[in-house]
């Protein structure tokens, strides 16, 4: 079996501000085509680590290599076009229409995105192309994050990084959109890194789960292995929550069957 070359490599990445070490020497490779979830409690350093990829955060020490190149050496505009970024507060530009929001990345590099391409991107995230002319304040939260995903995909990125992308959505929207993103990951042949504090989401979507604690990588397992008890104490404490919930739900269901 041949492993594909890593698309993304963290090499001893450290980030400090003041006396606090948010990320303390993280090293790992992300293979092309993989869907990786980065899980941890609040303040574990997972978002900070993620932002070193598109240089929103510059590491104090260590390097981040993207396709073999140090990201700090790449012009930010070009780098960020190749790295789609989706985050919890979405950040649609309120003074731009949906179409303008989606087309903003290519526009920055001097390319005008044609209408058909915008319609195609809207369809990818299951929005009717008539949404193109609407303003962000006319959309629901779920619709807005769909536009956020379309915007991240507009530049034809190789890598998609997502920071709690579904955190602010209601459970139904959250489920539908996360399935959609996983599907896009497959059909577009993307490499995806998703930060989440929700282990259930990580286990269900990703094919590899990294667990962070106090700025360190403490586990690197497949969902199956994690559920089987691998990954150490921190990972298991996080995994126990959905597992117990599932067991309790199953028990409730069993009870119902007996009654019926």
Partner 1 sequence: MREVWAILPDLGDKLAAHVVLSASAIGLAMLIALPLAVWAGRSQVVARLALSLASLVQTVPALALLALFFPLLLSLRAVFGEGLPTLGFLPALMALTLYALLPILRNAVTAQANLDPGVLEAADGVGMTRWQKLTLVEAPLAAPFIMAGIRTASVWTIGAATLATTIGQPSLGDPIFAGLQTQNWALVLAGCLVSAGLALAADNLLWVIEVGLDRRARWMTFGGMAVVALGISAALWGQGTERGERPIVIAAKQFSEQYILAQAIGARLEEEGYRVEYRDGLGSAVVHSALASSSIDIAIDYTGTIWANFMKRKDNPGREAMYRTITEWEARENKVRVLGRLGFENAYAFAMREDRARDLGVASLADLVAVGPRLTVGGDPEFFERPEWIAVRDAYGLRFGRTRNFAPTFMYSALASGEADVISAYTSDGRIAADRLVVLADPKGALPSYDALLMLSPRIAGDEGVVAALRPMLGAISVEAMREANYAVDREDAGKLTPKQAAEQLARKAGF
Q: Footprint of partner 1 on this chain (CB under 8 A)? A: 54, 56, 76-81, 85, 87, 89-95, 104-105, 108-109, 151
Nearer to partner 1, 53 or 219 (CB): 53
Nearer to partner 1, 52 or 213 (CB): 52
Q: Name 181's bridge partners.
A: none
Nearer to partner 1, 31 or 104 (CB): 104
For residue 81, which of 91, 93, 66, 92 has the smallest C-alpha distance?
66
Handedness of CA 59, 39, 85, 29 (dihedral sign): positive
**Cα separation, 228 vs 60, whole angstroms:** 36
Here the tokens at position 109 are 């590099």
Nearer to partner 1, 95 or 258 (CB): 95
Nearer to partner 1, 118 or 238 (CB): 118
Least separation, in Å, of the C-beta of 222 and partner 1? 29
Question: What residue has token string 């929103």?
Answer: 56
CB 218 within 8 A of CB 197: no
Least separation, in Å, of the C-beta of 244 and partner 1? 34
Nearer to partner 1, 34 or 54 (CB): 54
Could you give the 3-state DSSP secondary structure of residue 56? Answer: coil
The one-character DSSP state at 131 is G
Least separation, in Å, of the C-beta of 50 and partner 1? 11
Least separation, in Å, of the C-beta of 116 and partner 1? 21
Helix (H) or strand (E) holding 232: helix 232-259
Nearer to partner 1, 79 or 234 (CB): 79
Could you give the 3-state DSSP secondary structure of residue 130? Answer: helix
**Cα separation, 111 vs 104, whole angstroms:** 9
Least separation, in Å, of the C-beta of 146 and partner 1? 15
**Cα separation, 134 vs 101, whole angstroms:** 10
Here the tokens at position 105 are 């990345």
Least separation, in Å, of the C-beta of 49 and partner 1? 16
CB 194 within 8 A of CB 37: yes
């Amino acid at each position: 079996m041949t492993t594909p070359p890593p698309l993304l490599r963290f090499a001893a990445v450290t980030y400090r501000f003041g006396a606090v070490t948010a990320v303390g020497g993280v090293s790992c490779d992300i293979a092309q085509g993989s869907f990786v979830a980065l899980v941890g409690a609040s303040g574990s350093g997972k978002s900070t680590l993620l932002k070193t990829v598109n240089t929103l955060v510059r590491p104090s020490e260590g390097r981040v290599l993207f396709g073999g190149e140090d990201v700090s050496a790449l012009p930010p505009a070009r780098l960020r076009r190749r790295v789609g970024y989706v985050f919890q507060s979405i950040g649609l530009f309120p003074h731009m229409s949906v179409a303008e929001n989606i087309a903003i990345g290519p526009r920055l590099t001097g390319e005008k995105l044609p209408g058909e391409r915008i319609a195609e991107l809207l369809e990818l995230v299951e929005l009717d192309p008539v949404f193109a002319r609407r303003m962000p304040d006319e959309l629901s939260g779920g619709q807005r994050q769909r536009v956020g995903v379309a915007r991240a995909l507009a530049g034809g990125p190789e890598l998609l990084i997502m920071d709690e992308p579904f955190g602010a959505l209601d459970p139904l929207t959250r489920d539908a959109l996360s399935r959609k993103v996983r599907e896009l990951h497959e059909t577009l042949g993307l490499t995806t890194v998703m930060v989440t504090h929700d282990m259930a989401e990580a286990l269900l979507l990703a094919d590899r789960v990294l667990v962070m604690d106090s700025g360190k990588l403490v586990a690197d397992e497949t969902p199956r292995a994690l559920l089987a008890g691998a990954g150490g104490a921190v990972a298991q404490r996080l995994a126990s929550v959905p597992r117990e919930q599932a067991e309790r739900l199953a028990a409730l269901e069993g009870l119902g069957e007996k009654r019926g």
